[in-house]
Structure 1
């Protein structure tokens, strides 16, 4: 299991950043990245959940994005992470959920981010996107 020591903290941060954007762009699957996430130590999972929740906030997710993302995530709509993300406004305290819910929270957050980011690329970035994270090369 991978932790979050000072040596691997930056590597974990960069990996999480790439993961959410690769899933959003269809360059890898949610299942592949869930496997990576599952191998992290609980502290690493908490750090990634905080980071991915931050990305979701920056993407200005809506309750509609939440519902669509939950449907894509494979997580039951009644699970805590699903309910939290579909609230209006969404709740972002995923890192404080019990460790047994971290994988569900990751799946929900990445899926909802993918929906919101795609929507924003089609509206705000349409035709003139200069965000490097919106144009990742294939692996």
Structure 2
């Protein structure tokens, strides 16, 4: 990700610090904005910002039940839209995700309106397609949020996810 201009974005300083402690610190920061912060939120944002390795994220995702995976994909779809993902983000997200351009999620993200395609990707049912969808949606979120951060948050912002500790 881009260098920290807003204060606090980068690699987590001490991965040995329990996630629960970090979440409680971020919850205090998010409290002023009325945000509800969960472990899921932190994990997904760390993945999108490159603060957590993707293999660890895939392992976490694979450990979830089918309905939880579906919920995570829908959540990611929503956050991609919130981050103002655009059609042009598709090819870069495919590249970052490491997916082959011929895989179903990669084909979908490069065809048609982004909001419709994100929904189709989040709705993929086979387990191997869900795993690919997870990797791709994290990459779409990363591309869109990186652009949003550069355009709107370079002088600082109130987004807790832009203050994940280095």
Is the pair's TM-score, using the shorter chain for normalization, greater than 0.5?
A: yes
How far off is 1:45 after superposition?
0.6
**Cα RMSD, aligned residues only:** 1.6
Higher relative contact order (CA 8 A, sep 6+): 2
How many pairs does the alignment contain? 126
Q: What pairs up with 1:33-44 in 2 under 5 angstroms?
A: 33-44=57-68
In the superposition, the TM-score normalised over structure 2's length comes to: 0.70
State the structure with more CA Rg.
2
Aligned to 2:10: none
Structure 1 residue runs of 5 or longer lacking an equivalent are 1-12
Using the alignment, how far apart are the partners of 1:63 and 1:74 within structure 2?
Answer: 18
Distance 1:134 1:107 in 2: 20
> Could you tell me the TM-score, scaled by structure 1's length?
0.82
Which runs of at least 4 in structure 1 moved beyond 3 Å after TM superposition?
none
* C-alpha deviation, 1:108, in angstroms: 0.2
User: Could you tell me which of 23, 26, 32 is aligned with 2:56?
Assistant: 32
**For the residues of structure 2 that align with 1:51 and 1:15, how far apart are their CA atoms?**
13
Q: Deviations over 1:22-53 (max 9, x none)?
A: 12222111221111001111111101000011
**Could you say which residue in structure 1 is the equivalent of 2:28?**
none
1:123–1:64 distance in 2 versus 1, CA, 3 Å: same
8 Å CA contact 1:70–1:108 kept in 2: the answer is: yes
Q: Structure 2: 5+ residue runs without aligned partners? A: 1-36
Name the structure 1 match of 2:94: 70
Note if contact 1:60-1:116 (Cα within 8 Å) is conserved in structure 2. yes
